[in-house]
Amino acid sequence: MPQKELDKVVSGDYALGFEIDIEQDTVEPGLDENTIRFISAKKNEPSWMTDQRLKAFEKWKKMTEPHWGHLDYTPIDYQSISYFSAPKSAPDSLDEVDPKIIEAYKKLGIPLEEQKQLQGIAVDAVIDSVSVKTTYSEELSKHGVIFCSISDAIRDYPELVKKYMFSVVPVTDNFFTALNSAVFTDGTFVYIPKGVRCPMELSTYFRINALNTGQFERTIVIADEGSYVSYNEGCSAPMRDDNQLHAAVVELIAMKDAEIKYSTIQNWYPGDEEGKGGIYNFVTKRGICEGENSKISWTQVETGSSITWKYPSCILKGDNSVGEFYSVAVTTLAQQADTGTKMIHIGKNTKSTIISKGISAMKGQNTYRGLVKIAAGATGARNYSECDSLLIGDKCGAHTFPYLESKDSVGQVEHEATTSKISDEQLFYLRQRGIGEEDAVSMIVHGFCKDVFRQLPMEYAVEAKALLNLTLEGSVG
Amino acid sequence: MSNMMEIKNLKAKIGDKTILNGLNLNLEKGKVHAIMGPNGAGKSTLSKAIVGHYDIEVLDGEIIYKGENIIEQEPEERALDGVFLSFQHPVEVPGVNNAYFLRTAVNAKRRHEGKEELNAAQFLREMKKYIETLGMKPDMISRSLNEGFSGGEKKRNEILQMQMLSPDMIVLDEIDSGLDIDALKAVSEGINSMKDGERSFLVITHYSRILDYIKPDYIHVLKDGKIVKTGGPELVAQLESEGYESLGEV
């Protein structure tokens, strides 16, 4: 099939590129100690938190931006970013939330009125630097579940925050975590008490709205002994010609017999065909399986951002603990993604599974980078990795960098990798049976992603499929 | 006598190579036409040209199907109007459920014909009949499309699709290649069951074996991109004994 036609099929429109017209408090671009004190003051933080931030800032100043990723982008000027922006007037109840915000979230498919929501999904809505609304908090508190913004948690649950923040992802883990530790603004805090199965899906929806603003959120999910939680995050941003930075940190802690299922549908603005605009997404996500028989499962569907640099990882410390990583990463237009995972086996009989599906179209570049590390003493550790790449057209690329470090010779590691081209023969076969071109591409791509989509909670699987269609086939017709 | 398809002066190339050199062929309604010819004669190119494969560049000529020239039509338009190709090498499509794919195709055609779509239960009932007579393993319908199928399973799956889609012009490209005797029988029975005096068949084959099972009404010999001889079934025996070389240019 002619390349031009195929490009038309895969250059979907970005449907969430609108701007919310609200009054916002945005600080002048620039980063120094005063900026950090300003953020901390805006959040009414206790002094221990302010001190933490300032220490992180000192460390960050001595660090350099990493460039080992298979990524090519214009350098980030950290002084030209605004580090805080919030809708004016902080609301106490939904009645006080700006109707325009409620309207905007509705447009994103996320009603903030509890009675109108999908049954059993609690939402934390974050715009730029602040959480504007957390639903079902009261209902959840009956079960002892804490579901609130990180800013609230710092004030209301300082002991938990002090104990767990920076415990899985240290301040100086990398350049972006140090920056985030200094300037993080909002995010979600979740604590599930012992033996509680969280009665609803928890989710956070991140929206970048203000111009020239970076979003630096921080999320912590703690699942105490024998508990279970399924947490989901989604994100989007307006279409702009300038690049915007998103540098988040997520920490997960699973105690003995606990399970955390963390799903992401990432749909930041991807920029245009020439690579102009779009979100730079530099994210550090890591979970620790602290206790025996604990389990952490990451599922991600990455369709947005012009640059994605992200490796959700598991430290399998508890014996018999399980780590999973399921990923679909789509790069079309001029998008670049360098994504994968790290599975660190420390406990005995720990098990990890990695299923990564990269889809590249147009000028998209997709890299899988993954580390499986088996520490001395991790007897009986097992890993299975499968990394598949699908190329649509002939200007895109796929790259695979699997790393293996094994200190224990009894570990069992299996790695499979394939790269296939969405072939003219497959497309033709489906079309010869009367299936239109657009449906045929969609059918092949969905088939390719099936193993990952089946890991998503039902509502999100539907959303992910729709999003994939939109990303890859929006404009035929 | 009326024709299902008339191919007139068809000239076509793949890449830089001209393969069909002014081919003429009439395919009658309700008849079985067999095309025989040596390797490289243009047999597969002809089948691809009929279904509108993108590899083929048509330089000249017409393909009249049900009275209309379809040369400019997209592959799916031809398919929806009843042109079906059983592929020589059916492609594997990982992750796409066989039954889901086939129901999508069947319903696309039903929509096109203004018929109501089949729901999953109706579809499965319908399909079950064919699965049994084709001797297919029941799990093949829930597997990924053609993935890991043996040669025989792939061809049976082609015939299943043909039966479910109920096309009018059926092109069978080397349907017997890679089939053992049981598969050959099952596949041939499937094809013969579709004969209804209306549908037309174009059986493209290198060997005459299949023609013992699917009785042709006409034999056409394709050589150097042209039909060089047309006759009745008796032509098969002549080709068997004398080979294609005996047939010079007409």
Query: Which helix or strand (DSSP H or E) is residue A4 part of?
Result: helix A3-10
- Cβ-contact A342, A311 below 8 angstroms: yes
To which residue do tokens 């001029």 refer? A334
- Partners of A424 on chain B (C-beta within 8 Å) are 54-55
Which of A423, A431, A448 lies closest to B76 in CB terms?
A: A431
Calpha distance A87→A24 (Å, rounded)? 4
Q: Nearest-CA distance from B54 to chain A in Å? A: 6
Using the Cβ of A459 and the Cβ atoms of chain B, whether some distance falls under 8 Å is answered with: no
B96 and A446 in contact by Cβ < 8 A?
A: yes
Most A CBs within 10 A among B89, B96, B144, B172, hence the mutation to make, goes to B96
Task: Indicate yes or no: CB of B76 within 8 angstroms of CB of A449.
Answer: no
Instruction: Please check whether residue A293 is in contact with residue A320, taking contact to mean a CB–CB distance below 8 angstroms.
Output: yes
A-chain residue closest to B54, CA distance = A1
Q: Kindly write down the DSSP assignment for every residue of A344-380, as one continuous string.
A: EE-STT-EEEEEEEEEEETT-EEEEEEEEEE-TT-TT
Residue of B nearest to A434 (CA): B76
Mapped onto helix, strand or coil, the DSSP state of residue A198 is: coil
Distance from the A387 Cα atom to the nearest Cα atom in chain B, whole angstroms:
14
For residue B92, give the DSSP letter. P
**Residue A108: its pLDDT value, please?**
66
Residue of B nearest to A422 (CA): B93
Show residues of chain A in contact with B161, CB under 8 Å.
433
* Calpha distance B160→B129 (Å, rounded): 10
User: If DSSP codes are grouped into helix, strand and coil, which group holds residue B44?
Assistant: helix
How many Å lie between the alpha carbon of B112 and the closest alpha carbon of chain A?
A: 9
Closest CA–CA distance from residue B87 to any residue of chain A (Å): 8
State whether A447 and B144 contact (CB < 8 Å).
yes
Decide if A439 and B104 are in contact by the 8 Å CB cutoff: yes
CA of B101 to nearest chain A CA: how many angstroms apart?
8
DSSP string, A25-89: EEPPS--SHHHHHHHHHHTT--HHHHHHHHHHHHHHHT------SS---PPP-TTSSB--EEESS
Residues of B in contact with A447 (CB under 8 A): 93-97, 144-145
Residue numbers in chain A where pLDDT is lower than 70: 1-18, 20, 22, 88-98, 101, 104-105, 107-121, 128-133, 211, 237-238, 240, 409-410, 473-477
Interface of chain B toward chain A, CB-CB under 8 angstroms: 51, 53-55, 74-76, 79-80, 84-85, 87, 90-91, 93-97, 101-102, 104-105, 108-109, 112, 144-145, 161, 165
Residue type at A112? L
The first and second tokens of residue A465, run together, are 């499929």
Please indicate if any CB of chain B lies within 8 Å of the CB of A5: no
Between chains, do B76 and A432 touch, taking CB under 8 Å as contact?
A: yes
Tell me which residue in B53, B87, B95 faces A448 most closely, judged by beta carbons. B95
Question: CB–CB of A279/A268 below 8 Å?
Answer: yes
Which residues of B fall within a CB distance of 8 Å from A432?
A: 51, 75-76, 79, 84-85, 87
The 10 Å CB-count burial string (b at 16+, else e) for A356-366 is bbbbbbbbbbb
Q: Do A447 and B104 touch (CB under 8 A)?
A: no
- A448 touching chain B per CB within 8 A: yes
Q: Which of A429, A435, A443 sits opposite B90 (nearest CB)?
A: A429
Task: Kindly report the nearest CA distance between residue A311 and chain B, in angstroms.
Answer: 25
Chain A residues within an 8 Å CB radius of B51: 432
Asked if the C-beta of A216 comes within 8 angstroms of chain B's C-beta atoms, the answer is no
- Give me the pLDDT at residue A89, please: 58
Contact yes or no for A432 and B95 at CB 8 A: no
Indicate the pairing of strand B56-65 with strand B68-69. Answer: antiparallel
Q: Would an 8 Å CB–CB cutoff place A435 in contact with chain B?
A: yes
Using CA atoms, how far residue B145 sits from A14, A52, A370, B95, B152, in Å, is 31, 56, 30, 8, 14
Question: Does B95 contact A450 at a Cβ distance shorter than 8 Å?
Answer: yes
- Interface residue A421 vs chain B (CB under 8 A): no
Quote the percentage of chain B above a pLDDT of 70.
Answer: 98
In this complex, which of A425, A432, A450 lies closest to B79 when CB atoms are compared?
A: A432
Q: Which ipTM value was assigned to this complex?
A: 0.95
Counting as low any pLDDT under 70, the low residues of chain B are 1, 246-250
CB spacing of B101 vs A424 below 8 angstroms: no
The answer to whether B87 and B173 are in contact (CB under 8 A) is yes
Please answer whether residues A39 and A213 qualify as being in contact, where contact means their C-beta atoms are separated by less than 8 angstroms: no
- A416 touching B (Cβ < 8 Å): no
Residue identified by tokens 């790259």 is A399
Q: Select the residue of A424, A430, A446 nearest B54 (Cβ to Cβ).
A: A424
Q: Please tell me if residue A436 touches chain B, with a CB cutoff of 8 Å.
A: yes
Inter-chain CB pairs, A–B, below 8 Å: 75
Which of B84, B91, B103, B158 would best serve as a mutation to test chain A binding (most A beta carbons within 10 A)? B91
Instruction: From chain A, pick out residues whose CB is under 8 angstroms from the CB of B95.
Output: 446-451
Tell me if chain B has a CB within 8 Å of the CB of A426: yes
pLDDT in the model for residue B249: 45
Task: Say if the Cβ atoms of A433 and B105 lie within 8 Å.
Answer: yes
CB count within 10 Å of CB A8 equals 16
Min Cα distance B236 → chain A (Å) is: 30
